[in-house]
Structure 1
């Protein structure tokens, strides 16, 4: 069986603020969006809250309209605000119960070349079971599977599953598998909470049970942990550590109940020696495929951007029984921008510029005798 994981960075549409030339351009928009969304969700609005809402709405381009360059304010019922003819914004609502609606990020189509290169990576992986990170929704993932893969000569997966997570930007985690590898029991952890009542997982720790042709039961937990680039460093690290701790707890529960074949895969957004990932990488018996003698890193230690050591943020972690069954492993970087001076790897011919790259992430795979 070939198991793989790939951060596709959206398939058809992506939030416009995440589609800019650099993360630093989009980051302020995403941070202001999150702050305004948080304030709008408060039960009671103080005058200070209202003043800050007005500031954020101006910054997000909502001063004259409910549609800004990157966000949309949907007002279905109730009176949230007025825009007097004399100018400005007046918040009339005194709390979330006074109006019905939502604040949403605007989407923009993904570059067509990037989309097709994403399909090429998935085709070249030839995975039997593929964990997918940053897919918009199950209908989108299914459409990509049945429309784009065959259009390029690829074979669609038999099973496609994705459970909506906690992220409002449409970046969820899912699983695709071939005929003979049916997806059985699913479990979501979107409702797992921290002591303060906030969700543990920024997206989800989606748990899929897959049966192999030999009858073996494989448990695959697909993850996408808190990013370093969004929010303060201390808060991001604390969130990621809490997520790693919770995954370790879930893993222990599974092994205590007799599960032997467990894979924890995805974009963990931190390096192997980082403190936030220690509860998962050091305090469990999970083993990183990168450490297996049969694994080939292609000459570079990382999985993201230019794949330096500090860019090792994607993982395929295996329980001891699975790790012992590994026959080969490696990465597919053909869909990534290789740099230019000099090129670090040979990409697809269609990756003529950075914008055409399928993703900033490499896909990771492992051949496992199970």
Structure 2
């Protein structure tokens, strides 16, 4: 069985704020969006809340219209605000129950070359079971599978599953598998919460049970931990540590219930040896595929951007019973921008510019005799 994971960075549409030339350009927009969304969701609005809402709306380009350059304010019913003729924004609602609507990030199509290069990576991986990170939704993932892959000469995978998670930007995690590898029982952790009511997972930590042609069953958990992109370093690190600890707990529960074959994979947004990932990487018997003698990192230790050691953030972790059955493994980077001085690897011919890359992430794969 060839098991792989790939952060596709959206397939058809991506939030405009995440599609800017650099992360530093989009980060302030996403931070303000998150702050405003949190304020709008409160049961009661204080005077200070209303003042801050108005400031954030103006900063997001909503002073004159409900449609800003990067966000869209939907007001279905009720009176949230008014815009005086002399300018500014006045928040009239006193709480969330006073209006019906939502704040959304505006999308724009993904670069067509990038879309095709994402498909090429999937085709060349030729995985039997593929974990997918940052897909918009199950319908989008299914459409990409049945429309884009065949258009480039690829064979669609038989099974496609994705459960909507907690992220409002349309970046969820899912699983795809070939004929002979059906997806059986599924369990979502989208609603796992801390004692204070905060959801643990930024997206979800779904459990997918997959059966191989030989009849062996394994459970695969796909993850996308809190990024370092926005919010304070301390809060981001704390959130990732909580997520890692909960995944470790789920793994121990599975093992305690007699599940021998477990794979945990995805974009963990942190490096081996980091404190946030310690509960998962250090405090369990899971093994990183990078540690296997048969694994080939292609000459670079990382999985993101230019693949330096500080960019090793994507993982396939295997239970001991799976790790001992690994025959080979590697990092697939042909869909990534290789840099220019010098080029670090040979990409597809179609990756002529950084924005043409299928993703900023490499795909990781493991051949397992099971």
TM-score (structure 1 length as normaliser): 1.00
Q: Give distance in 2, aligned partners of 1:201 and 1:179.
A: 30
1:262 paired residue number: 262
1:87 paired residue number: 87
TM-score (structure 2 length as normaliser): 1.00
Deviations 1:56-79 (A, max 9, x none): 000000000000000000000000
Q: Give distance in 1, aligned partners of 2:342 and 2:31.
A: 35
Give, in angstroms, the shift of residue 87 of structure 1: 1.4
Q: For residues 1-12 of structure 1, what are the structure 2 equivalents within 5 Å?
A: 1-12=1-12
**Corresponding pairs, count:** 370
Q: Give distance in 1, aligned partners of 2:297 and 2:213.
A: 29
Deviations 1:10-57 (A, max 9, x none): 000000000000000000000000000000000000000000000000
Give, in angstroms, the shift of residue 148 of structure 1: 0.1
1:161 paired residue number: 161
| Backbone CA RMSD of aligned residues | 0.4
2:361 paired residue number: 361
Q: For residues 212-227 of structure 1, what are the structure 2 equivalents within 5 Å?
A: 212-227=212-227
Q: Give distance in 2, aligned partners of 1:284 and 1:230.
A: 29
2:64 paired residue number: 64
Q: For residues 281-300 of structure 1, what are the structure 2 equivalents within 5 Å?
A: 281-300=281-300
Q: For residues 90-239 of structure 1, what are the structure 2 equivalents within 5 Å?
A: 90-239=90-239
2:280 paired residue number: 280
Q: Identify unmatched segments of 5+ residues in structure 2.
A: none
Give, in angstroms, the shift of residue 230 of structure 1: 1.4
Q: Give distance in 1, aligned partners of 2:39 and 2:55.
A: 12
Deviations 1:261-282 (A, max 9, x none): 1000000000001000000000
Deviations 1:199-256 (A, max 9, x none): 0000000110000000000100000000011110000000000000000000000000
Q: Give distance in 2, aligned partners of 1:88 and 1:331.
A: 52
Show structure 1 runs of 4+ deviating over 6 A.
Answer: none
Q: Give distance in 2, aligned partners of 1:333 and 1:153.
A: 20
Q: Give distance in 2, aligned partners of 1:110 and 1:195.
A: 39
